[in-house]
Homo-oligomer: A and B are copies of this chain.
Amino acid sequence: MKNSITEIARRADVSIATVSRALNNDSRVKESTRNRIQRIAREINYRPNLLARGFALKRSNIIGLIMPELVDEYFTEVIKGVEAEAIANGYYTMVASTHNREGSIVDTLDRFSHNRMVDGLILLTTFQTAATKRALGETGIPLVVIGDDPLLTHADVVKIDNFQGAYSLISYLVSQKGYRKIAHITGPPGNLDANRRKEGYLAALAKLGLEINPAWMVEGQFTIESGKSAFQRLMSLNEKPDLIFAANDRMAIGCYEGAGALGLRIPTDIGIAGFDDIFVSRFLTPRLTTVGVPITEVGKTAASLLLSRLAGTEPLRTREVIISTGIVPGDSV
């Protein structure tokens, strides 16, 4: 048995046009006709062929979500937020993880934006190259970028307030906890979040009139291992810091491991602070002091921006939403 509007039309003894109208609640169809058609549709468990509909309408009702390789709960949360918002508005979500390779981000972007499979795109990047930027300019479909980029002219942007988060954290550590010699383990050089966090750190130190010691800024890779090495480097200096602010929680965990290896106690011998408030941070001993980010909200906001644009009711100018962060006090400082 077929299962199309043609079949329903045959059974209801009307034309396919009438069926189409009835199923889409077109007010021109007589009520009795509409009811009859809808009943038949239910009986044969009719579902519109979304491929056919999308083809006819040039619209898939799918939004694409492009992310680097999935790690942490960070990505789960974003997916969750996007998906919830999408479903609530009749859209599906297609996830593409690009495995952190620059080439594949561009590829994925290019593919998705030109093959008409998705109506709009949400891109989560942690770094930005010329190639990516170029590809972003050529999508031709509505685009929302999640990330601490400079404002893009053709895309809405959702950014986490990394600067403020770091700035507030340092201020808190100095004014409330009395730290003066604050080191920083940065993230990978090109990482946008990492860069903004570093700027917040530097700005806070400057504002507070504290020493900015170049030796106290060590580069990390956002991994536990790199956090541990950075910690060891810092602890081998003649003039040691009294607190280490790691640009993410994973590296802070590395510091815990480093401290354990050296027999140093936190926060007695050295204070540790992180950024992200990932799930595990709550269970570290002592509980990590860090900066919390409402990640699900990031996803929801991104989806919401995209959907409103797809609905066509939005102005043409791009928008930028900043998601604020908050200090999560722990016992590591």
Residues from chain B with a CB closer than 8 A to the CB of A215 are: none
Give the complex CA separation of A69 and B84 in angstroms. Answer: 10
Could you tell me if B60 and A70 are in contact, using CB atoms closer than 8 angstroms?
no
Question: Can you list 21 pairs linking A and B with CB atoms under 8 Å apart?
Answer: A3-B114, A45-B114, A49-B55, A49-B115, A49-B116, A50-B116, A50-B117, A51-B54, A51-B58, A51-B116, A70-B80, A71-B76, A73-B73, A84-B99, A93-B96, A95-B95, A253-B283, A280-B283, A283-B283, A283-B284, A285-B285
Q: Which of B48, B114, B284 has a CB less than 8 Å from the CB of A115? A: B48
Given contacts A55-B55, A95-B95, 12 further A-B contacts (CB under 8 A): A45-B114, A47-B110, A51-B58, A51-B116, A51-B117, A71-B76, A72-B73, A72-B76, A79-B95, A256-B283, A280-B280, A285-B285
Please, what's the 1-or-0 string for A254-292, where 1 marks a CB less than 8 Å from any CB in chain B? 001000000000000000000000011001110000000
Please, what's the 1-or-0 string for A1-43, where 1 marks a CB less than 8 Å from any CB in chain B? 0010000000000000000000000000000000000000000
Q: Does A75 contact B (CB under 8 A)?
A: yes
Q: How many residues of A contact B (CB 8 A)?
A: 45
Give the complex CA separation of A253 and B95 in angstroms. Answer: 31
Q: Does A318 contact B (CB under 8 A)?
A: no
Q: Does A212 contact B (CB under 8 A)?
A: no
Residues from chain B with a CB closer than 8 A to the CB of A58 are: 51
